Each structure stands twice: as C-alpha cells, then as structure tokens.
Amino acid sequence: MSNEDLKKNITLSGLRKLFKLYHYMKPYKWEYALGLLFLLGSSGASLVFPKLLGELVDYGNQGILGEQINRIALILIVVLVVQSVFSYFRIFLFVRVAEKTLADLRQSTFNHLIRLPMKFFQQRRVGELNSRISSDITLLQDALTSTLAEFIRQLIIIIGGVSLMVMTSYKLTLFMLAILPVVVLLVGFFGRYIRRLSKLAQAQVADSNTIVEETLQGIQSVKTFTNEFFEMGRYRIKTKEIAQTGIKNGKLRGAFTSFIILGLFGTMVAVIWKGSTLLASGDIAAGELFSFVIYTVFIGGTIGGLADVFARLQKFIGATEDLLEIFNEVPEPVEDLSKGKSNLALQGGVKLNHLHFSYPNRTDFEVIREINANILPDSLVALVGPSGAGKSTLVSLLLRLYDPTSGNIFFDETDSRNIPVSVLRSQMAIVPQDIFLFGGTIRENIAYGNTNATDQMIEDAARKANAWEFISSFPSRLDTLVGERGTQLSGGQRQRIAIARAVLKDPKILILDEATSSLDSESERLVQDALEKLMKGRTSIVIAHRLSTIRKADLILVIDNGRVVEQGTHHDLLNSEVGLYRNLSELQFQ
C-alpha cells in the first residue's frame, strides 16, 4: 500500500469515527433537521443579496427610479429580516440539540468508564481519563454547536454562489475557478499537519492534567518531601511543550490564512480586470459585474473561513479518536441490583482450587502459584506472609477484580465465573488498611455501603462501629464534611467510618486488611472492638500484619512467593519445629 493510500485510509477512518458519535443525536433528529432547514433558509437568503444589489445597480445605471428601486429595497429588507430570524432559530436549535447530545455522551462515557475492569485502570492514569471526559467532550461541544453547522453553511454558499455565478457569466466563472484547485490542494496539504498537531496538543494537555491531579491528590507527600519546586518544574516543562505545539499550529494556520487572503484579493483583482474587458465588449452588464464581484468576495471569504473550520474539524476528529479508544474497551458485566435482590445468597464457604494468576501487564510473572485452600462458612481465616507474597492479590481474586489465569474459586460449590459479578460483590465487603473516603459528609460515606439506608440505619451502623461518640461531638454530626480523602478525620476515625460502611452493607464474606497497626492504643482498642462485632456471624478473611491479632483464627494460611507454604491454627503452626510462621512470630514477639 502506498503512502497516499495509507493517508487516505487514515482520513476516511477519522471521518467514520467522527460520524459514529452522531448516533447520540438520533433522539433529537427532528430538532436537528429543523435546524438544518433554518440553516438552508438563512444561507439561501444570504445568496439572494448580491443578485438584488446587482439589480439595484442596473436600475440606477439605466436611470430607472421610483417604484422599481423601492420594490428591490423592500425585498432586501424582507430578506434581511428573514435571514436574521432564521439565523436565530438555527443557532438556538443547534445549541439545544448539542447540549442534550453532549449530556447523553458524558453519561454514556462515564457509565462505560466506571464499568471497565481493573486491568484497564491499571494501565491508565486518572488525569488522562479525566481529560478524555472533560477536555475532549468540550471540543465535541464546539463541533456539534457550531463547526458542523458552519461547515454546511459554507458549502451551501460556495455551491450556491458558484451556480449563480455561472448563470450570470460562465466565461467569468471559468476564469475565477481556475485559481480554486490551488486553494483546495493547499487545504488538503495543511489539513494533515494541523490534524497531527491538534492531536499532539490534546495528548499533551491530558499529560498536564495528570500532573495537576496527581500533585493535588498527593499534596501532603509533595510538601513533606519538599518537592514543590520539582512539581513546578514538571508542570512548567509540560506547559511549554503545549505552548510550542500551539505555536507550530498557529504558524501553519497563519500561513494558511495568509495564502487564502492573498488568493482572495488576487482573485478579486483578476475578476474585476476580466469583468471590465467583458463589460467593455458588452458581454456583461454593470449590475451583473457588481453581483459577480460580491459573489466572489462571498465565496473567497467562505473559502478563507474553511481554514478555521477545517482546523476545528481536525481537533474534533482527534478528540473523537481518543474518546472512542475508551469505548473500544470491553466492560465488566455489572448489573443494577437496586431493582431487586438476586436469589443467589452466599453461605460463606470458599474453596481455592489450583489457583494461578499473573497481572495482565506482567504475564511472564506469576503472583499466585498453585494455591489450594478450603474456607468454611462463618470461620475466621488469616492470610499471613511477608510483603509481596500475594496476599492482597488473592483478595482481589476473591472480589473478582481480576479472574484467575488458571484454576478456580468456588463459593459454596459454585464456580465464581458462574456467579454474576455484581451479585458476588454485593455480598462481600472490604475494610482496607488505607481507607479512602469521598470528600462529602460522614452520612454519605457511611451510606455508600447501602445507598437506600435510612438515617436510623446509618446511626445504628455508626454505633456498632464505635463511631457515634466522635460523630455526635461534631456540631454538624452526620453532615460533617470529611474533606478530600477524609483528611479532616484522624486515622482511627476514618477506620471506624469504613467499618460502619461495611456494617451497613451486612456482607456474608468480610475481608479485612488489618487496620490497627498504625493507630494509637486507644484508637486501636476501639477499632479492634468494632471489628470483632463486625466479624460475628460471617466468614472473615483477615490480611494479618501483626500475628498477635489472629491467635483465635480458625485457619491461618501462610503465603510466600504466591504459594501456601503452611496452613493450620496458631497453636499448630507455632508447635512445628521449623516454618515461616514460627520465624515471623519469633521476630515479632522478640
């Protein structure tokens, strides 16, 4: 395939992707069609102007005064009123359709994004995704409201204007059109480079947004490591890159516009010169020449305006391509359970059968290797092992954030792959060590465990989590704002909010990433007491960092390098002559 063929395919592919988004406009097609009718009307009215002005010149040149001139003037006023009214409704309808379409597109993008599996988010940065759903869709807004309509209007003026020019003088029209192929070729030449630079600018803006978002999310780390100037430098480099790309783009667009202006006025001079010779020979009337010159200005100005429209269209295609990359990802089969509970209720039994797992971006390294275990309902199971052994990965597999590379996980003798993912997760809850709270109120954060919970249910959950005492001490109580990621609360308070959230969910299987290791003794006592209440009557799986907290566990799985190297009770494992658990225990209690 030649380079020209490849470029052609890329262009056609971009256009196909562009028009793929227009199916979001389908519910509003009649409003859009009405807008197009007003567009046709306003464009047609603008084409009538030069013809009527030419007739005025002819009447004046022939010395015809009074009624004829007044009639033409009256028609011009009517055309002007019609054009202004049509232009108002055209803009109003296009903006109305565009806003509705973009609302649907934003919802569809977010709904698709939130349903994507964890492997997708593992390979993307938050700032980049945020740019896709904000900056890119803002570009689409401009395209839907003005760019496409402007493009259609300019095509109508060019085609209609040329047709009327042919009717006025085909000789002069052929002379004028001799310059047009040069302009068209230049549009194609510059368009490729403008599109490439526009897409590069979009990617650079996404990178800069990522720096801002990650810096602000980790502002505490930035300040404690005194890296303010390092982050300033990172952002400065990226913004300079964006500026340089924008300057290159501006040079191209400026050169393009300069050529168009040169071509426009050059064409006008040539047309007037040729028209003057035709006027002298009697092949054209003075009014017709006047109309022809105005049509030339109309068409020349419109072709000049195409440069800007074409540049915006290139940005539109670039944004569309980036956005559709997200839609090409296959989402998880999640479902809305709020409309009715599933009949499948877990009893709490879990069986791990020849389990193997590698992360999608590290397929050559097995994190989990041949794990076999049987967890009984309503039992307390502890996962023990050095950092990086695979404990957190195993929890991710239980929650089906990832599926095993090979082997099976059974819940009550049912393969996890045969249980709808939403049904499975709705009956499990996790209280992690690093608690994430949303920046809203305490009420909203606790209610995240059950969005249909009443105030009384939320208060009861807070009491069970030993959180009500500190919540009731705040002036706003449940309506107290927790701040970004819960920064207005202490570590122990955040833990108890997370426990209250899990209480409200009332799961059959509870997963705890032991959360008391970094707390003071009073907070640890309150959190540990809340956890013990929460674990009653359900299967509890605890990632244990401190062995003193799991002495009463029914089963301890000792994991090292992705394998279960030992399993048994605390007493059994301590009494073994050698073993990883005994070594870890001796190290901790020394």
pLDDT, tens digit, 9 for 90 and up, residues 308-351: 676 666 667 766 777 777 787 888 887 877 665 566 788 888 89
Nearest to 162 by CA among 173, 171, 172: 173
What's the average model confidence in pLDDT over 436-446?
83
- Say whether pLDDT at 3 is over 50: no
pLDDT of residue 180: 59
Please name every residue paired with 543 in a beta bridge, in sequence order, or none if there are none. 383, 513
Q: Describe the crossing of helices 3-20 and 286-327 by its angle, rounded to 10 degrees.
A: 80
566 forms beta bridges with 558
Percent of the chain with pLDDT over 70: 76
Domain ranges of the chain: 22-327, 350-589
Which among 342, 331, 393 is positioned nearest to 368, based on CA atoms?
Answer: 393
Of the candidates 503, 504, 526, 501, the residue with the CA atom closest to the CA atom of residue 515: 526
What's the CATH number of domain 350-589, 3.40.1440.60, 1.10.10.10, 3.30.310.50, 3.40.50.300? 3.40.50.300
Q: What is the DSSP letter of 486?
A: G
Q: Count other Cβ atoms within 10 Å, centred on residue 577.
A: 5
Fold of 22-327: ABC transporter transmembrane region fold (1.20.1560)
- How many H-runs (helices) and E-runs (strands) does the chain carry? 21, 10
Two tokens at 232? 């300033």
pLDDT above 50 (res 526): yes
What average pLDDT does the segment 6-26 reach? 57
22: left (phi over 0), alpha (psi -120 to 50) or beta: alpha
Q: For all residues of the chain together, what is the average pLDDT?
A: 77
- Amino acid 13: pLDDT: 57
pLDDT tops 60 at residue 177: yes
Instruction: Give yes or no for a contact between 496 and 469, defined as CB atoms under 8 angstroms apart.
Output: no
Select, from the ranges 38-42, 211-215, 219-223, the one with the highest average predicted confidence (pLDDT): 38-42
The whole-number pLDDT of residue 1 equals: 37
Measured at the CA of 153, the angle between CA 13 and CA 192, to 5 degrees, comes to 35
Token pair of 108, please? 């569809």
At residue 336, the pLDDT reads 76
Q: Tell me whether domains 22-327 and 350-589 share a fold.
A: no
Q: How far apart are CA 506 and CA 426, in angstroms?
A: 9
